[in-house]
Amino acid sequence: MRFEGAAAFVGFVWSLACRRGLERAQRVVLLGDGAAWIWKHIGGLLKEAVCIVDWYHAMEHVWACGCSLHGEGTQPTRAWVKEIEALLWDGQVRAILERLRGERAPLRAKRKRAALASLITYIENQDDRLAYDRFRKQGLDIGSGRVEAACKHVVAVRMKRSGMRWSKPGSQNVLSLRVAWLNKDWERLWKTRPMARAA
């Protein structure tokens, strides 16, 4: 676990993928939150990967648009979101785009037009990565819940306790040691450290 920019992160992904048997993998899946840098840097690296936008992140965008259109916590918002959700679940990306464009055309309120334009752009940019019907038929995960849970277990449980404050180098050091411990690499790690050899 490291604090890195996207370009440096690519090297770590490649190294990890190779150590985990990338060359022998029958199928590679890249599940991300829809951020452009993931598909640009990691998707470009793992060209053979099936790329999937995390279902819950996609739905966050749908909910944000629904709230802008119909108000937060309202029945019209819930109904609108449910209709879009059903289409998305079935992989009907073209139908969603057609509907959103149709709703946007007669609107005059700038905020509502902007919300629809934002969701349209998001969906257009993801496109095949939203084929949830196809992914489910292939038995692929469409949600990153396990990864989110792992982040909570590895990072939050250790780093976000009451009263804790961390510098960036301090948090990097603690997280590196925590990952080594959780991966059962503790002994191997210390055998490669100069202080351990000197002792």
pLDDT tens-place values along the chain, 199 residues long:
566 777 777 888 888 888 888 888 889 888 888 888 888 888 877 888 899 999 999 999 999 999 999 999 999 999 999 999 999 999 999 999 999 999 999 999 999 999 999 999 999 999 899 999 999 999 999 987 666 666 676 777 777 888 888 888 888 778 778 777 877 888 887 777 755 555 4
CA gyration radius, the chain: 21
Last residue of a domain, one of 31, 53, 75: 53
In this structure, are residues 65 and 118 in contact, taking their beta carbons and an 8 Å threshold? Answer: yes
Between the CA of residue 106 and those of 42, 100, 102, 117, 179, what are the distances in Å? 39, 11, 8, 13, 53
- Is position 27 within any domain? yes
- Is position 117 within any domain? yes
Residue 100 CB coordination number (10 Å): 20
Q: For the chain, what is the domain count?
A: 2
Please give the model's pTM, rounded to 2 decimal places: 0.76
- Nearest residue to 140 (alpha-carbon basis) of 96, 91, 92, 83: 91
Host domain of residue 77? 55-137
- Is position 81 within any domain? yes
- Nearest residue to 63 (alpha-carbon basis) of 46, 88, 28, 44: 88
DSSP summary character for residue 148: H
